[in-house]
Structure 1
């Protein structure tokens, strides 16, 4: 097993519970980490034996464009579609950071991490 990561994918999106978040939007950063057997890729130098970063980005981008209330739900949607594309994944972690969240003070970002399978028990 090895680990494949896509880190710091940046999106401007409209996720949040509060009405102003749905109007003003915010900058989000997404990290995805998969534990996956990429032995075939190591031995055969073939993209079919590993996780395609472009596919991970496309999955994430699609879900970032559809507003949801909670980052936990958004991470879950990304994990579910990633599992459909890469069912052999042993573990998937999705971290979503909302930059400068509206919390009444100066904060760099808030974040949520959802882990598969740990958070799916």
Structure 2
């Protein structure tokens, strides 16, 4: 078993419960970690034998572009697509952070972390 991480995916999106969040948007950071059997790919040096991190990044970007009120919803959609499209994944964790959230205080970010197992 091995771990592939794609960290600090920076995006701009329009998630949130407030109407102004839908209009002006915010900056987000997404981190993903997946567990899969990487022994074969370590030996074959073949992309077909591993989980392609380009594909992971592509899923994150597409799902982040679809508006949701809650970050939990976005994180769950990302996880669901990982497991649907990438059969090698055994476990995945997705962290979605809203940078400078409009919550009436000096808060750097709010983060939602979800994990799913096959």
Q: TM-score, normalised by structure 2?
A: 0.96
Offset at 1:55? 0.5
* C-alpha separation in 1, matches of 2:87 and 2:73: 20
Offset at 1:11? 0.4
Match of 2:108 in 1: 108
Q: Which runs of structure 2 are paired with 1:71-86 in the superposition (5 Å)?
A: 71-86=71-86
Match of 2:91 in 1: 91
Offset at 1:35? 0.5
* C-alpha separation in 1, matches of 2:56 and 2:88: 15
Q: Deviations over 1:36-74 (max 9, x none)?
A: 001111110001111111101110110111100111110
Match of 1:56 in 2: 56
Match of 1:15 in 2: 15
Consecutive unaligned residues of structure 1, counting only runs of 5 or more, are none
| 4+ long deviations beyond 2 Å | none
Count of residue pairs the alignment pairs up: 118
RMSD: 1.2
Consecutive unaligned residues of structure 2, counting only runs of 5 or more, are none
Offset at 1:100? 0.2
Work out whether residues 36 and 91 of structure 2, in 8 Å CA contact, stay in contact via their aligned partners in 1: yes
